Homo-oligomer: A and B are copies of this chain.
């Protein structure tokens, strides 16, 4: 069975959440049935959102260093349970030996399967993920482009980013309250399905808290990993 390299630490709670979702997606009766993983949880990687804004160092070298550690430890494929880090996906893949699976593709597959052809997708994500077009400019083969609804600039500044930072600091109640307000606003503005496009967000929000169906990008990547490993 192939060994999955999990390039984590962005942040550590999201890494643990991803590992848990891999276990949840695996039919297993005993330890030995589970997906083999090697995990780097080295949180000194420079902040991805700050780098995108031009306000901090690029995380690229640190991400590649983590990927090479995973390769040294025997990983056969590599995934990054961090949406914003996917701004550097192509650059990381070019410098690693092992193939990588793309988190946004996994999330878009699930969103389009859930929402159907003419659906309006809401997006909750960091300002770097939203502004870079990581989701809205990523087209899957044979997919019709969905309509996207985004938080306003004010909601990004006052609720989404402070909500994500609260989760990273372990203040889950505050994070949930801030993020749930924006989820409700996107629902009122017509979203049919909400894509939780930052790994911190599904730690505190689910469909019940949002009042509409959600796609958890972390869980989508976990299911894609388990399906890939079971095909090998």
Contact = CB atoms under 8 A, between A and B. Distances in A.
A23 B14 CA distance: 11
A102 interface: no
Copies in the complex: 2
Contacts of A31: 9-12, 43, 45, 47, 168
User: Interface extent on A, as a size class?
Assistant: 35 or more
A162 to B, nearest CB: 13
A39 interface: yes
A32 to B, nearest CB: 5
Given A16-B16, A16-B20, A28-B170, A39 B36 contact: no
A180 interface: no
A200 to B, nearest CB: 10
A229 to B, nearest CB: 12
Contacts of A15: 19
Contacts of A73: 38, 40, 69-70, 72-73
A146 interface: no
Contact of A38 (B11, B29, B41, B43): B41
A117 to B, nearest CB: 36
Interface in A13-31: 13, 15-16, 19-20, 23, 28-31
B23 A16 contact: yes
A50 to B, nearest CB: 10
A199 to B, nearest CB: 11
Interface in A146-179: 165, 168-170
A106 to B, nearest CB: 20
A192 B196 CA distance: 47
Contacts of A30: 11, 47, 165, 168-169
> Closest 8 A-B residue pairs measured CB to CB?
A39-B39, A11-B31, A73-B73, A69-B73, A72-B72, A31-B43, A37-B41, A34-B43
